[in-house]
Amino acid sequence: MAEKFASRRNIDFLISEVFDVVSLNRFPYFKDHDEETFKMILDTAMKISADMMFPYFKEMDVNPPYWENGKVHVCKKAMVPFLKEMGEGGWIQAEKPYHIGGQQLPLAIKDLAYFLFGAANYSMHVYQMLTAGAANLIYQFGTQEMKDLYLEKMYSGKWQGTMALTEPDVGSSLGDLTTTAQPTDQGYYLIKGQKIFISAGNSDAADNVIHLMIARLKNGQVGVPGISLFVVPENRINENDELEYNDVQCGGIEHKLGYKGSPIVQLTMGEENNCRGWLVGEQGKGLAQMFKMMNEERVNVGIGAISKISGAYYAALEYALQRKQGRKPDQKDPAMPMVDLIEHADIKRMLLFQKAVMEGSLALATQISLYQDLVTVEENAEENEMLADFLIPVLKTYPSEMGILATSAAIQIHGGYGFCGDFPVEQYYRDIRIDPIHEGTTGIQGQDILGRKVSLKKGKAFELYVNEVEKTIAQAKAYPELGKQTDSLQVAVQLMKDLTAELIAKKARITNEAFLADAVLYLEFMSQIAIAWQWLKLMIASVRALKSEPSDQDKAFYQGKIFTGRYFFDYELIKIHSLAIRLRSDDKVTVEMTREYFAD
């Protein structure tokens, strides 16, 4: 099996040469960190990934968790020490303030560490990632009593956290959920209902599971205003500080295509009318509050997809460097030795595609984390929050959707061997397939960006984003060697402005259904431009570095970036022009097609 799943060097390039993450220490909140501490933290993350996680990558796929007598049994020999390490190392709450045990670490660093964890073994990483998100909701909206009860146990990795939204008949349409919460005069609510597909929702690697669950107040309003957020522990804590059964029953787990090391469970609450939940934050604000966790997890899903592309890319690269097959088209002599696969232009095309999607997306992830870090220190907080929120659907979706193609290309490079279990690429391909589905499907992300975010606050977020891209274009003009890419991005930004204005103007004349019918195509269009923007940044940093006479090894590294950037602009960004043709079209084929016409 391939040994390399991610590039540590690329991460140093991002934090020091592209984004200058260390300059965040100008703010008191981050003042204790410098480049050395960042590198140490990332080295530790790499070591945990390589030593504790990657060795179980395949084993957890082949021997997935199983359900027996109401309990889910996971790979304890991997999970118990890993969760302990996550807790003791402070990874779960690393970005939080010192006074609650955090390290005041920039998200830009934490997210890159999470990228490494995901590349080594996403199924393992997801347990602590969900605990972090659930604990953060309690931290942000919970009462002091709740914080005292749960946070320390969750941050230490002893108690698992989940997000419990989905029900058998309610997935994307969360406003229709049916799980109920009946108020009592004891300060808690009685929860009744069923949830499905709850990741890490039961596990024998944790002493308790804390569900952050949305439910509808009994006899309350219909739709979104009727939904509130509750903390529903698997086992509640009684007056003697002991764990006591809370009537949350795990009825089984699903058998999945991939991402098998992490169970998704069915939960039934209140069979014995004894499931207690405690309101988190305000009544009726459940979905809005839950969106805080969902946004965090959408970033995590995007980063997780990049992780899987990375693992598959390094496996494909290693294979392409070793496998000999055929000769170059101009080598006609059959007595000549066969060449390594990597000598073939078509193989290089596929590797460039994977590298372009992966590294461009990772740069975008870092960009978004940095906006969020500026929100933490209240630096132009409103603008930076808008920028991050605007780009989250892109980060959630682009690597998830393109990752299916990228991991497929990794299989293709392996030929028939790629389709077989001896090589890791088929697993990455199966593992990534969930990413366009969970945490809001691609369809929902498309509707979010076109239906909501482009016109939010009279288009302010869109305007801020355009300014950001134009700033990079202005910087790139100092580098004539990047003239072609700079011009292409400028044309793309103009097209983005024109097309978006046209679509918004058209909205007034057409039905909402027609307006949103191609929202996913609009998201793809926006994604290509966002990744091109990041590639221009990566190319600027590389051109700069090449001027300072780097070592031969570094020279190859930077040239690799420039070639991959050239690939992205020439093979990927150009797709926006065909997308724009369709987005401008008035032919409403998908709206007008009827169910009857699907008849055979």
Ligand X SMILES: Cc1cc2nc3c(=O)[nH]c(=O)nc-3n(C[C@H](O)[C@H](O)[C@H](O)COP(=O)(O)OP(=O)(O)OC[C@H]3O[C@@H](n4cnc5c(N)ncnc54)[C@H](O)[C@@H]3O)c2cc1C
CB within 8 Å of 31: residues ≥ 6 apart: 25
Q: How far is the CB of 139 from ligand X (least distance, A)?
A: 19
Q: How far is the CB of 130 from ligand X (least distance, A)?
A: 7
Residue type, 10: N
Residue with smallest beta-carbon separation from ligand X: 171
**Contact of 115 with 365, CB cutoff 8 Å:** yes
Q: How far is the CB of 86 from ligand X (least distance, A)?
A: 18
What are the residues facing 278 on neighbouring strands?
Answer: 231
Q: Which one of 192-200, 273-281, 376-384, 564-572 is the stretch in contact with ligand X (CB under 6 A)? A: 192-200
According to the binding rule CB under 6 A, does residue 166 interact with ligand X? yes
According to the binding rule CB under 6 A, does residue 197 interact with ligand X? yes
Q: Which one of 152-160, 169-177, 355-363, 490-498 is the stretch in contact with ligand X (CB under 6 A)? A: 169-177
Nearest to 353 by CA among 409, 426, 432: 409
Tell me how crowded residue 195 is: count the other CB atoms within 10 A of its CB: 27
Residue number, 33 or 438, with CB nearest to ligand X: 438
According to the binding rule CB under 6 A, does residue 252 interact with ligand X? no
The site for ligand X, by CB under 6 A, has a size of: 20
Quick one: which H or E segment has residue 39?
helix 35-48
Residue number, 165 or 499, with CB nearest to ligand X: 165
According to the binding rule CB under 6 A, does residue 437 interact with ligand X? yes
Residue number, 297 or 359, with CB nearest to ligand X: 297
Q: What angle do CA 307, 310, 315 make, to 5 degrees?
A: 135
Residue number, 123 or 408, with CB nearest to ligand X: 123
CB within 8 Å of 208: residues ≥ 6 apart: 153, 158, 159, 160, 233, 234, 235, 243
Q: Any idea which residue has 């690597």 for tokens?
A: 399
Q: How far is the CB of 87 from ligand X (least distance, A)?
A: 20
According to the binding rule CB under 6 A, does residue 264 interact with ligand X? yes
**Contact of 137 with 292, CB cutoff 8 Å:** yes
> For residue 90, with 0-12 CB atoms within 10 Å meaning exposed, 13-18 middle and 19 or more buried, which class applies?
middle
Alpha-carbon span 478 to 481, nearest angstrom: 9
Q: How far is the CB of 392 from ligand X (least distance, A)?
A: 16
Please identify which residue in 438, 453, 537, 561 interacts with ligand X, judged by CB under 6 A: 438
Residue number, 261 or 281, with CB nearest to ligand X: 261
Q: Any idea which residue has 């078509």 for tokens?
A: 346
According to the binding rule CB under 6 A, does residue 444 interact with ligand X? yes
Q: Which one of 156-164, 347-355, 552-560, 565-573 is the stretch in contact with ligand X (CB under 6 A)? A: 156-164
DSSP state letter for 54: G
Tell me how crowded residue 446 is: count the other CB atoms within 10 A of its CB: 23
Q: What are 94's two structure tokens?
A: 């690393």
Q: How far is the CB of 265 from ligand X (least distance, A)?
A: 9
Residues that bind ligand X (CB under 6 A): 162-166, 171-173, 197-199, 256, 259, 264, 434, 437-438, 441, 443-444
